[in-house]
């Protein structure tokens, strides 16, 4: 019997006992469906995180600060940490009120000289008092800039231009109404006044143009505040530092360094080690979101484990179904053997039947899973998850869907081997005996 005939015969045998086959397929379907949904959940959330990563930071950028004792400000077994005059309040990624040791121009030069560092740019920390549109109310906000490679997810307009000398900024979409604009498009092109106080306690006003409106996201650039271009950053920073002695002005909580975009994980780790040796701590965007992704992956793994358990239960259904059909078709198996069909072919016939059941169950499960998953995420995107634009809760990529189908078929094959082996071993004389 050639391969094609074997498959054809197995396929027609599969539906010899329709009810039984359909029930078994249904059991497989439940497992495959669950696996598809849980996997889609992982894909969807991780894809969202990846999108967010590109918006909060370029992949070839590392944030660097001066290494310091973890317990600064607290007494530990080695006693209180010594006071450092270079320590400044940080608005970076540390808890509020904590201090970091500032980076000085010397530090920046040191950083630039470290092997693998292409470019160093100090993060200029700007604290405006308030912002105001026209004569409207004044609002508190924060300010952030874009590093090369960062993008903003825009609702309207464009990102602030890095090359322009004009003062340009983006406002988050949640500001639009408060600032008195009808909608995001109406805000584009309007002027925003920023008030900032210098070291001599004098308040200065800086006017800038709103060139775009940014979507809210869980990790938006500028932590949900204004996104400004370099020209505006420099203007605000120098205004803020009026009255500070020149050699005291350049104190930065953090700096961004750029490294080769083609760097491998090992290269990045080596660069971090060199930074550590020089007394600095480097963190990539991947580091910041790595934990988050690890947690998501772990949750998805647990969910997948449940789906696999469902599949295992279903695979016993396959074992049962095939044992029954081996039992029913004893005579037929004996006859085929008497007619010269080899044990291997008989084995193939029954295990193929299992694979077909597995394929049908998984294909239907995956198909319906994708439909339901897409349906659920589009419904949720408009309701529960409306605050997280761009999040497709359950997404599918062709590779993992194909993998699911093949995994289910493999499980089905394994389940089928037991009954198939029994059929292959059947003695034709025993099978053909009758009373």
Partner 1 sequence: MTTPIIRVKDVHKSYGKGPNRFDALKGVTFDINEGESVAIIGKSGSGKSTLMHVLALLDAPTAGTVELEGIDTSTLKGKKLNRARNKTFGFVFQQFFLTANISVLENVMLPMKIAGVRRSERKARAHTALEQLEMDDKASNKAVNLSGGQKQRSVIARALVNNPRIIFADEPTGNLDTATGGNVEDILFALNRDKGITLIVVTHDDELAARCDRRIYIRDGLLVNDTTEVAA
Q: Closest approach of Cβ 14 to partner 1, in Å?
A: 13
Of the candidate residues 23, 298, 338, 384, the single one contacting partner 1 (CB under 8 A): 338
- Give the interface segment with partner 1, choosing from 8-16, 93-101, 136-144, 253-261 (CB under 8 A): 8-16
DSSP, collapsed to helix, strand or coil, labels residue 113 as: helix
Query: Per CB under 8 A, which of residues 298..337 are in contact with partner 1?
Result: 331-332, 334-337
| 78 near partner 1, rule: CB under 8 A | no
Nearer to partner 1, 140 or 339 (CB): 339
Nearest CA among 365, 336, 362, 358 for reference residue 426 = 336
Of the candidate residues 339, 382, 383, 399, the single one contacting partner 1 (CB under 8 A): 339
| 425 near partner 1, rule: CB under 8 A | no
Contact 202, 242 (CB under 8 A): yes
| 138 near partner 1, rule: CB under 8 A | no
Tokens of 191: 């002027």
Place of tokens 């992982």: 42
Q: Closest approach of Cβ 321 to partner 1, in Å?
A: 17
Q: Closest approach of Cβ 368 to partner 1, in Å?
A: 30
Of the candidate residues 97, 340, 382, 398, the single one contacting partner 1 (CB under 8 A): 340
Pairing relationship of beta strands 61-66 and 280-284 according to DSSP bridges: antiparallel
Distances (CA, A) of 128 to 95, 111, 113, 232, 280: 20, 29, 33, 12, 28
DSSP, collapsed to helix, strand or coil, labels residue 101 as: strand
Q: Closest approach of Cβ 319 to partner 1, in Å?
A: 23
| 434 near partner 1, rule: CB under 8 A | yes
| 79 near partner 1, rule: CB under 8 A | no
CB atoms within 10 A of CB 355: 24
Which DSSP string do the residues of 188-219 spell out, in sequence order? TT-EEEEEEE-TTS-EEEEEEEEEEEEPP-TT
Distances (CA, A) of 126 to 130, 234, 257, 413: 12, 10, 19, 63
DSSP state of 160: P
Alpha carbons within 13 angstroms on the beta-carbon side of residue 81 total 14
Q: Closest approach of Cβ 420 to partner 1, in Å?
A: 17
| 16 near partner 1, rule: CB under 8 A | yes
Q: Closest approach of Cβ 309 to partner 1, in Å?
A: 35
Contact 376, 393 (CB under 8 A): yes
- Give the interface segment with partner 1, choosing from 96-104, 263-271, 292-300, 427-435 (CB under 8 A): 427-435
| 381 near partner 1, rule: CB under 8 A | no
Q: Closest approach of Cβ 352 to partner 1, in Å?
A: 14
Angle at 14 between CA 8 and CA 15, to 5 degrees: 105
Q: Closest approach of Cβ 389 to partner 1, in Å?
A: 57
Of the candidate residues 12, 113, 327, 378, the single one contacting partner 1 (CB under 8 A): 12
Burial of 387 (0-12, 13-18, 19+ CB in 10 A): exposed
| 270 near partner 1, rule: CB under 8 A | no
Of the candidate residues 341, 372, 385, 388, the single one contacting partner 1 (CB under 8 A): 341
> By the criterion CB under 8 A, which residues form the site for partner 1?
1-2, 5, 9, 12, 16, 331-332, 334-342, 345, 428-429, 432-434
């Amino acid at each position: 019997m050639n391969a094609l005939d074997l498959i054809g015969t197995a396929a027609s045998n599969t539906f010899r006992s329709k009810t039984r086959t359909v029930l078994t397929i249904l059991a497989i379907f439940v497992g495959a469906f669950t696996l598809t949904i849980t996997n889609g959940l992982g894909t969807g959330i991780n894809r969202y995180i990846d999108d967010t990563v590109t918006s909060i930071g370029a992949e070839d950028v590392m944030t660097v600060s001066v290494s310091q004792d973890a317990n600064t400000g607290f007494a530990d077994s080695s006693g209180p940490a010594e006071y450092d005059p270079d320590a400044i309040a940080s608005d970076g990624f540390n808890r509020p009120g904590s201090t970091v040791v500032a980076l000085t121009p010397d530090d920046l030069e040191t950083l630039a000289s470290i092997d693998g560092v292409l470019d160093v740019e100090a993060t200029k920390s700007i604290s405006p008092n308030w912002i105001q549109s026209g004569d409207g109310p004044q609002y508190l906000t924060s300010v952030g800039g874009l590093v090369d490679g960062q993008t903003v997810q825009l609702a309207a307009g464009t990102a602030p231009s890095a090359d322009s000398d004009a003062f340009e900024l983006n406002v988050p979409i949640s500001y639009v109404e408060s600032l008195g604009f009808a909608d995001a498009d109406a805000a584009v092109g309007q002027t925003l006044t920023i008030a900032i106080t210098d070291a001599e306690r004098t308040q200065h006003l800086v006017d800038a143009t709103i060139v775009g409106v940014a979507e809210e996201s869980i990790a938006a650039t500028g932590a949900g505040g204004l996104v400004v271009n370099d020209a505006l950053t420099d203007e605000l920073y120098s205004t803020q530092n009026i009255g500070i002695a020149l050699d005291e002005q350049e104190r930065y909580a953090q700096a961004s360094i750029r490294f080769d975009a083609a760097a491998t994980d090992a290269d990045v780790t080596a660069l971090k080690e060199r930074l550590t040796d020089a007394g600095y701590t480097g963190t990539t965007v991947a580091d910041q979101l790595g934990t988050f992704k690890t947690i998501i992956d772990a949750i998805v793994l647990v969910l997948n484990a449940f789906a696999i358990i469902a599949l295992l239960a279903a695979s016993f259904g396959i074992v049962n179904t095939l044992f029954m059909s081996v039992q029913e078709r004893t005579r037929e198996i004996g006859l085929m053997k008497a007619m010269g069909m080899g044990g291997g072919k008989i084995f193939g016939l029954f295990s193929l039947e299992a694979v077909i059941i597995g394929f049908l169950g998984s294909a239907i499960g995956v198909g319906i899973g994708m439909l339901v998953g897409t349906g659920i995420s589009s419904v949720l995107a408009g309701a529960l998850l409306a605050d997280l634009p761009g999040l497709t809760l359950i997404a599918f990529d062709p590779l993992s869907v194909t993998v699911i189908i093949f995994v289910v078929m493999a499980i089905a094959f394994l389940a089928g081997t037991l009954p198939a082996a029994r059929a292959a071993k059947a003695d034709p004389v025993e099978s053909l005996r009758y009373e």
